[in-house]
Chains A and B, each alone.
Chain A
Amino acid sequence: MRAIKLRHLLALGIFGLLAIAAGAAPDAWQRPAADLASQVANLLGPGQAQLTVVNLSSIPTGQIPAIRNLLAQELQARGVVPAGPSSASTVRVTLSQSAHERLWVAEIIEGDQTQVAMVDAGPIIEPQTAPAAGIVLHTQPILTASTPILAALETPAGIVALEPEQVVVYGQIPNGWRIDQRVAIGQTRPLPRDPRGILWPSADGEGFEAWLAGAACTGSYANALASGQWTISCRQSDDPWLIAREIPQPQRPPLNQLPALPSPVQVTPAMPSSPQAAPTPAPVPPAQPVATLRAFYNASRDYFTGLVVPSPAVELPPFYSAAFVPRPSGGDALLIGGIDGKVQVLENGALSPVDGARDWGSDFAVFGSGCGPGAQIVASGSGQALSDSLRAYNLPDLEAVPASAPLPVNGTVMALWTASDSKSLIAVVRNAPDQYEVDRVTASCN
């Protein structure tokens, strides 16, 4: 008798140790275990049954003993006592899953009769990867829409979104954003399948300038406080688009010469902002003269032709993206992403290929992350990758050096550009064919 008790205690101890080693079942499993046990008990009634657990899912093997214990406890609580193989009944639980959801299935076998019970065990959540050292990129959704967004701009008076056929102004409400105003662009030309657009803060800091295929728009919120409406106007236009502005660098002279571009560099003089015009107290960044670049857009082929204003000393190839990059030695270089997939830098009157940009997609933008000297480039992933991402790079010379781990993006990056504060970026991500998200991309320093 004493020996039996000892064996019993030993078995209990081993069982307890095993349970500890396996770790307690995560809370996520308690609900499906209870629901499945309840269904099994209803079908089987009280009594003994052999319990087996098969894992066809991505649940780590180490968690299976804990899940089995949980199921046994829940069954026992409902009168079904787990027993050995000699039991007349068997409960075979399969931890299964579809492509997206977990499914736990119990086959209750009594003789040649089999009954089936199943419960939904929740969605499959993939583990997150740890960030690497250096700059860490973060995205923060600002706005979602079911219509294509070509570009978006945050202003003190709300968010301006450029859509293929209208300009939409979103005003902030406690729970998010609401559409305050829509203005039709009046497109007369058929749109391409992959339409593009660009939005910039206006020179006076109180509005925007927008370009898209065959049209240009301007908007001002100077009267928005009084009238509640922006003043927005659009016109047919084949004028060159404003595609790049220099990134203000506080430690540098206010106006940088563009070494590759002949003078005079086009300078957009800044107007003093009028604080009382802003309906929200968000400060308007102090305006400084900045270098700009305008480029002619081929609407039917969806790229910039290479013809830019002011004209550089060398002929530029057709390109998709361009941005000024502050150089460590002072001044700016012009970075362009060609339609042939090559990234080149225009500096000192010469075009030079950039190494290390093979993984870049067609969209990149420059911002001052505050992590280290100078500015960083953030590029989307190339079409060769399996999923889209954003990654920061430094460009100390002619080689793009990764400065962050790739930040996975839940969709496809459709557009990327520098935010008006120059310290963050705005990305448009298509999550689904009719679901667009505007994200703010920021950086923290490790």
Chain B
Amino acid sequence: MLRPVAISCLVAALALPALPRTRPHYGGVLHVEVAGDPMQSPGGLARGLIFDGLASLAADGSLHPALALNWESGDNFHRWEFQLRPGVRFQDGTPLTADAVVRSLNASCTSDCPWSSAAAVGSSVVFTGDSPIPNLPVLLAGDRFLISLTVDANGQIPTTPTGTGPFQLTSNTNGVLTLTANVTCWQGRPFVDSLQILANRSIRDQWLDLSVGRADVVQVPPEMIREARLQQFTVVASPPVDLLTLQIASAGPLSSASLRASIAQAVDRAPLLNVIFQKQGAVSASLLPQSLTGYAFLFPSSRDLAKAQALRGGVTPPPLQLSYTGGAAMQLVAQRLSLNLREDGFNVQVVPASSAPTAALALRTLPLLPAEPSAALETLLRADGQPIPVSDDRLAGLYQAEREFLDLHTLVPLLDLPRAWAVSGRVRDLTLRTDGSPDLADASLEDSSRDAPENAPGNAPQSVPGNAP
């Protein structure tokens, strides 16, 4: 228990966002547009609105109770007990029970789970691990372990995704998700009456819709933040929340550690940031950013082509493929990296990931959580497919762990990137979550009367002028 308490004390002592406020208005329909699938796991925008986790991370990285009221560890972090918050119900009215939580977690975690077993014990969920799981509360705050209803009170599998979050999915037709306010939400009902999320919309179309008043919140990729501001959009940008990396397969043509080290030395990060991403973010050669650890400067990010060539040692590897996912910016990054590597004597072909799932080189983004550094490092490594418990919470120990991992040269950090959203003038109090997604439950609309029926279910005004004495 000491560790979570210590972490809580630490994060509570950190500078918290002391945002002033003007009381938000209730009501209205908030129109959101995204480029991808809002229900995609992990990271879909709608998931965090429909579902809750056992714990949650605030924007400043501090850990807070959510569906679990409290938790404690035992047996040197091999055992954790999470006490559930009483009185919580799923959006269909089914009570939240420990059994329901265990069923949800088992469904969402079929392999590489942080725990060995999860069991319902009364109103608690007890996790046990073969290895210590010191960062379990932070891991359970992540998107992967959001709690959904798997079997309703009648023993049926729900036909729509059902959670305990501030919004419930009421329709999903023609690429438009409609989420309505969950008036019985344990956190209190959200301010807007409903959300309409238009999926798979191109960025240009999103911006057009925002400019003509058809959308309230749209995406701004990091490489377009400057352009969005030039277009006079109100842009809300997160601190860096994504680590752009180059993954190098340790099997196959790059099984030699020297060749992988050569590639790591050959990449030139500065043009990626300055040209492609328009200086939005920061170059990075470490897994965790300087703002989290204070030691990131020990990982030099400058290119050393001479050293790279020396490490290659005259070996000419076979042609390599470098795959990318995402839009044009990722393709440009891949192309520029291929030029860097060509100067180092590698022959690299850029291909979309869909056509080369086993490429020796791959561009990938990993989550940067502003959490306690050991938890942030474990989360990042797990996202990279390395389920390594990080139990050393001393910065010197973390530095050592990070150094040893990066010395394998299977992952080359490139850039720390923010996420950003453009919002219409009628949106108030929009803040971003730790993953850079908008916290739409706490957002409100300045002019909700335009589309807020006063007699919407659960929203009828309760003060009746005729009652005046």
Cβ contact within 8 Å between A387 and B19: yes
Cβ contact within 8 Å between B298 and A309: no
Q: How far is the CB of A67 from chain B (nearest CB, A)?
A: 16
Contacts of B468 in A (CB 8 A): 240, 296, 307, 309, 311
Cβ contact within 8 Å between B458 and A300: yes
Q: A432-B62, A432-B64 are in contact. Are A302 and B23 (CB under 8 A)?
A: yes
Cβ contact within 8 Å between A100 and B15: yes
Contacts of B17 in A (CB 8 A): 387
Q: Is B35 an interface residue (CB 8 A)?
A: no
Cβ contact within 8 Å between A434 and B294: no
Q: How far is the CB of A141 from chain B (nearest CB, A)?
A: 14
Compute how far the CA of A99 lies from the CA of B24 in the bound complex, rounded to whole angstroms.
30
Compute how far the CA of A409 lies from the CA of B20 in the bound complex, rounded to whole angstroms.
9
Compute how far the CA of A49 lies from the CA of B294 in the bound complex, rounded to whole angstroms.
25
Cβ contact within 8 Å between A410 and B463: no
Residue of B188, B396, B459, B460 touching A118 (CB-CB under 8 A): B396
159-184 of chain A: CB within 8 A of chain B? 164
Contacts of A117 in B (CB 8 A): 396
Q: Is A382 an interface residue (CB 8 A)?
A: yes
Contacts of B64 in A (CB 8 A): 432-434
Cβ contacts B8-23/A at 8 Å (1 or 0 each): 0000111111111111
Q: Is A349 an interface residue (CB 8 A)?
A: no
Q: A298-B463, A389-B20, A434-B64 are in contact. Are A193 and B13 (CB under 8 A)?
A: no
Cβ contacts A320-350/B at 8 Å (1 or 0 each): 1000000000000000000101000000000
Q: Is A63 an interface residue (CB 8 A)?
A: no
Stretch at the interface among A101-109, A254-262, A369-377: A101-109
Cβ contact within 8 Å between A383 and B428: yes
Q: How far is the CB of A186 from chain B (nearest CB, A)?
A: 13
Q: A194-B24, A341-B22, A361-B20 are in contact. Are A305 and B291 (CB under 8 A)?
A: no
Q: How far is the CB of A375 from chain B (nearest CB, A)?
A: 23
Contacts of A300 in B (CB 8 A): 26, 458-462
Interface size class of B (residues with CB under 8 A): 35 or more
Cβ contact within 8 Å between A123 and B13: yes
Q: Is B383 an interface residue (CB 8 A)?
A: no
Stretch at the interface among A74-82, A90-98, A244-252: A90-98
Compute how far the CA of A14 lies from the CA of B262 in the bound complex, rounded to whole angstroms.
49
Q: Is B38 an interface residue (CB 8 A)?
A: no
Contacts of B185 in A (CB 8 A): 190, 193
Q: Is B189 an interface residue (CB 8 A)?
A: yes
Cβ contact within 8 Å between B58 and A432: yes
Compute how far the CA of A339 lies from the CA of B429 in the bound complex, rounded to whole angstroms.
15
Compute how far the CA of A118 lies from the CA of B403 in the bound complex, rounded to whole angstroms.
14
Compute how far the CA of A99 lies from the CA of B291 in the bound complex, rounded to whole angstroms.
5
Compute how far the CA of A105 lies from the CA of B293 in the bound complex, rounded to whole angstroms.
11
Q: How far is the CB of B184 from chain A (nearest CB, A)?
A: 5
Residue among A96, A339, A380 having the largest count of chain B Cβ atoms under 10 Å? A96
Q: A98-B290, A311-B468 are in contact. Are A432 and B12 (CB under 8 A)?
A: yes
Closest residue to B396 on the A side, CB-wise? A118
Residue of B16, B65, B294 touching A96 (CB-CB under 8 A): B294
Compute how far the CA of A303 lies from the CA of B24 in the bound complex, rounded to whole angstroms.
9
Residue of A98, A120, A193, A432 touching B190 (CB-CB under 8 A): A193
Compute how far the CA of A297 lies from the CA of B441 in the bound complex, rounded to whole angstroms.
22
Compute how far the CA of A298 lies from the CA of B460 in the bound complex, rounded to whole angstroms.
9
Q: Is B405 an interface residue (CB 8 A)?
A: no
397-446 of chain A: CB within 8 A of chain B? 408-413, 431-435
Q: A387-B20, A432-B64 are in contact. Are A296 and B295 (CB under 8 A)?
A: no
Residue among A105, A382, A433 having the largest count of chain B Cβ atoms under 10 Å? A433
Compute how far the CA of A433 lies from the CA of B293 in the bound complex, rounded to whole angstroms.
24
Residue of B188, B292, B459, B461 touching A191 (CB-CB under 8 A): B188
Q: Is B25 an interface residue (CB 8 A)?
A: yes
Cβ contacts B66-99/A at 8 Å (1 or 0 each): 0000000000000000000000000000000000
Closest residue to A54 on the B side, CB-wise? B297
Cβ contact within 8 Å between B463 and A305: yes
Compute how far the CA of A371 lies from the CA of B191 in the bound complex, rounded to whole angstroms.
40
Cβ contact within 8 Å between B291 and A98: yes
Compute how far the CA of A385 lies from the CA of B25 in the bound complex, rounded to whole angstroms.
18
Compute how far the CA of A117 lies from the CA of B19 in the bound complex, rounded to whole angstroms.
38
Q: How far is the CB of B194 from chain A (nearest CB, A)?
A: 14
Residue of A118, A191, A213, A385 touching B20 (CB-CB under 8 A): A385
Residue of B16, B188, B191, B465 touching A296 (CB-CB under 8 A): B465
Compute how far the CA of A434 lies from the CA of B56 in the bound complex, rounded to whole angstroms.
11
Contacts of A94 in B (CB 8 A): 297
**Residues of chain A whose beta carbon lies under 8 Å from any beta carbon of chain B:** 56, 94, 96-103, 105, 107, 116-118, 120, 123, 164, 190-195, 213-214, 238, 240, 296-303, 305, 307, 309, 311, 320, 339, 341, 361-363, 380-383, 385-389, 408-413, 431-435
10 additional A-B residue pairs with CB within 8 Å, beyond A194-B191, A298-B463, A339-B25: A103-B294, A103-B395, A118-B395, A300-B458, A301-B25, A302-B23, A302-B26, A307-B463, A309-B468, A341-B22
